[in-house]
Amino acid sequence: MLPQNWDSALGSVHAAVESLIRSVSPSRLRQLRWVERELALATATGELPSPARGDIAELLSSTVVGAYLDLAEAGALRSRERRDGSRSSASSSQIRLRCLLMIAEAAAVDPSHLRTSAEFARRPVVPQRTVAQLQEQLAGLAEAAAGSRPGALAIHRLRAVIGVVVDTGTRAGELCQMTTEDVDLGESTLRVRRRPQRSTTQRPESLHPLSGPTVASLTSWLQVRASLVGALQGGAVNALWVSVRANHVPPGRPVPAGMPLQPRGLARSYRREVERLNDEHAGAPGWQPLPLRMELLRRSVTPEPEIAPASALHESVNVSTGGPEGTHRHAR
């Protein structure tokens, strides 16, 4: 009979952490216990793959660890009072991987895949390229996928997400706060609201200039988004990022395409589409693999535009972006 939970694995994780008490510094011990708590929270979300054996080796496998890191980096494993929609930092991800490696070694689990992941997180793993090069690559894929509607829609969304992440440095939680009112195609700008970790107050808004390729990808996505949202019944949806496929939530209630994405859903959809593209185009002439995490995406593409306060950019946007004078118009 298959196990129904990760209780056995979590018990082994706890035993491994306890065995390290005398051999690590107090700060490292706090980090190990932090990762132990996060693993327990992750198993309770129902977002991890269902256990087959339910032992620690399976919990620390590359597939399950990847799902855990997606949740953690999206900020989904923070305590309720600290959950503000922002993503976890790259340094936090490196600490998690280092702690997982120590736990695996203490539990006599083969840590080779975790050691590879730890190296993977410390540096960009794809060649540096410009936004224009990346967007040109994805634009060709979107055109080629036109016959497969869900696939084409997902690529249009992926193109726009990648452009926005690279141009503005936004995280999954910040992306999911965006609405169509934040996009101004005429002025080639995007409004971003940031909240640092542990902050209870909202930072002032910033307007970010968008590159030409990102404006083009957002234009395509907004057209796709309009068709998805237009098919919904009920209240209006103003979220910028919406689902492209129908989903089900427990206990099997259908959720139509066109619904707003949450940080975990956005992170999962990004990873799913990137994995699919990397698998399908591996070895193809000119194909450069895309990073599986948005944090690595930000470090793999150059350059990033500078951030300007909203008040200052409102005064100078026509000069700095080359937008036509008197055409400040929000895309919907």
Of residues 44, 69, 70, the one with CA closest to residue 269: 70
CA dist list (Å): 203 to 198, 199, 249: 12, 9, 33
Query: pTM of the prediction?
Result: 0.56
* pLDDT attached to residue 107: 94
Q: Which amino acid is at 85?
A: G
Annotate 35-75 with three-state secondary structure.
Answer: HHHHHHHHHHHCCCCCCCCCCHHHHCCHHHHHHHHHHHHCC
* pLDDT attached to residue 293: 80
Cis peptide before 254 (omega within 30 of 0): no
Which residue spans of the chain are classified as CATH 1.10.443? 131-321
Q: Splitting the chain (332 residues) into consecutive groups of 10 residues, what average pLDDT does each group show?
A: 74 96 89 93 87 90 88 75 46 81 92 66 48 71 63 87 87 90 95 67 77 89 91 80 78 77 88 82 71 74 46 38 34 38
Q: Exposed e or buried b for every residue in 19-50, given b needs 16+ CB within 10 A? A: ebeeeeeeeebebbeebbebbebbbeeebbee
| Cα four-point dihedral sign 275, 276, 281, 287 | negative
How would you classify residue 20: left for phi > 0, otherwise alpha for psi between -120 and 50, otherwise beta?
alpha
| Centroid of chain to Cα 179 | 17
* pLDDT attached to residue 57: 93
CATH hierarchy code of domain 131-321: 1.10.443
Residues 6+ apart with CB under 8 A from 295: 73, 87, 89, 90, 93
Of residues 35, 31, 36, the one with CA closest to residue 14: 36
* pLDDT attached to residue 203: 60
* pLDDT attached to residue 108: 93
Owner of token pair 């593409």: 301
Residues 6+ apart with CB under 8 A from 66: 271, 292
- Cα gap 147→136, rounded to integer Å: 19
* pLDDT attached to residue 58: 93
